[in-house]
Amino acid sequence: MGAASPGGPGDFASFFLAHRDALHRFLWRLTGNSADADDLLQETFLVVWRKRGQFEGRGSAEGWLRRTAFRLFLNQRTKSKRRADLADARNLARDGAVPPAECSVDDREATAFLVRRIEAAVAELPDEPRVAFVLFRFEGLTCSEIAEATEVPVKTVETRLRRATELLAQKVAKYRDHLPGSATR
């Protein structure tokens, strides 16, 4: 094993540099903000480095890092929910209704409106389907990689992806007529 492996002979700096960007992106997609991702990144590397002797080489170092990061994310999320039941930080602004079709909203404003609604719809998904969807669609992980990180069977990941897609389609259906260029529909 090389420096990019947690149990390898390399030092912490080379291990960190080899994996930090991908792991930070993974955590950012889960948390939705850079500050929480930074905190979890540090905690993940600290935990993995302290427990590097436990890495048995079964599977990849990246998978072990992602599993550890995912567990820490779940722990953090549980603590946050206990502390702030009333303040859902991930819920984006619900600042009004859909603009009427006759409204002359330019394409940029309409696109921004729709992006906010889609982001809100993703944030409102139940936890398991949201995590699977974000990791698959935004992070580009395969179903097998998501299954490894979340410690569930591949079929469960596939079911969660299907469920997330169905829920998102339902949530954003009312905005289809307001897509830029859809006035002719």
> pLDDT per residue over 7-64, tens digit each?
555 677 888 888 999 999 999 988 888 999 999 999 999 998 888 878 777 777 788 8
Domains of the chain (ranges; CATH) run 12-83 (1.10.1740.10), 107-178 (1.10.10.10)
Identify which of 6-10, 138-142, 150-154 has the greatest average pLDDT: 150-154
Half-sphere exposure of 179 (CA within 13 A, CB side): 10
* pTM, 2 dp: 0.54
Query: pLDDT tens across 7-19, in order?
Result: 555 677 888 888 9
Is the predicted pLDDT of residue 98 greater than 80, yes or no?
A: no
Predicted local distance difference test score (pLDDT) of residue 182: 54
With bands split at pLDDT 50, 70 and 90, how would you rate the model's confidence at 99?
A: very low
Compute the mean pLDDT over every residue in the chain, rounded to the nearest whole number: 77
Work out the burial of residue 61: count CB atoms within 10 Å of its CB; fewer than 13 is exposed, 13-18 middle, 19 or more buried. buried
Residue 45 Cα distances to 55, 149, 152, angstroms: 13, 16, 23
Is the predicted pLDDT of residue 100 greater than 50, yes or no?
A: no
CA distance 54 to 24: 23
